Amino acid sequence: EVQLVESGGGLVQPGGSLRLSCAASGFTFSNYWMHWVRQAPGKGLVWVSLIYSDGSGSTYADSVKGRFTISRDNAKNTLYLQMNGLRAEDTAVYYCARVYCDGTRCSSGLGYWGQGTLVTVSS
Amino acid sequence: SYELTQPPSVSVSPGQTASITCSGDKLGDKYACWYQQKPGQSPVLVIYQDRKRPSGIPERFSGSKSGNTATLTISGTQAMDEADYYCQAWDGSTFVFGTGTKVTVL
């Protein structure tokens, strides 16, 4: 069974930093692109970043580019999101997610999600 | 930046059909996905590649696309289908979610 468990959220002051982790199990982690998606309280889903299966490439939403860094450790089956220069508008539940694959082909749909970890940016 | 537009809300009576649209520039050239999210829960993928259902998703959920508008249809809507629904597309470098639609089953 695919499992994704986020951790590392909490309260941080504006301008501060935080590193989120996502522990993956139940699948061959190194074979899949992974994503971070966030959701501010009472608001919609917002894609944050993705990283290729081997970590060789990544892309970011404009709102976090230059402040957030996605990375992964395939030996530890763990995805990370380093968040620097945090702002009040970064307050959200952060989800890690994996693409859905049918057979040997993967879609762009995110078929597996963690339970999320809450990041609150406030003084 | 790329945007996907959905109606804020849709109301439907139990047993009837609910349709949710998602519009975006050149969406016809991209695959659309749909997610269901209930309060306090993580999103669930209900449609991928415009019209395919992941395993375990009921047949009453279907997807289609015409031009630059994708549509999620819930046939024979049940009370348990009351939730927020989001479309999503991949533009080759970034993912984009739609604005979200709250489906109310009256």
Tens digits of per-residue pLDDT, A52-110? 999 999 999 999 999 999 999 999 999 999 999 999 999 999 999 999 988 778 888 99
- pLDDT value for A104: 73
- pLDDT value for A107: 84
- pLDDT value for A2: 95
Q: Does the beta-carbon distance from A110 to B37 stay under 8 Å?
A: no
Q: Does the beta-carbon distance from A45 to B45 stay under 8 Å?
A: no
A64 vs B83: CA distance, rounded Å: 28
- pLDDT value for B79: 96
Task: Give the residue ranges of chain B where pLDDT is below 70.
Answer: none
- pLDDT value for B94: 85
Q: Which of A105, A120, A104, A95 is nearest to A45 (CA)?
A: A95
Chain B residues whose CB is inside 8 A of the A22 CB are none
Asked if the model's pLDDT at residue A50 lies above 90, the reply is: yes
Q: Does the beta-carbon distance from B42 to A95 stay under 8 Å?
A: yes
Asked if the model's pLDDT at residue A120 lies above 80, the reply is: yes
- pLDDT value for B93: 81
A105 vs B52: CA distance, rounded Å: 13
Chain B residues whose CB is inside 8 A of the A37 CB are 43, 97
Per-residue CA distances from A91 to A8, A29, A65 (Å): 14, 28, 16
| Residue A17 pLDDT grade (very low, low, confident, very high; cuts 50, 70, 90) | very high
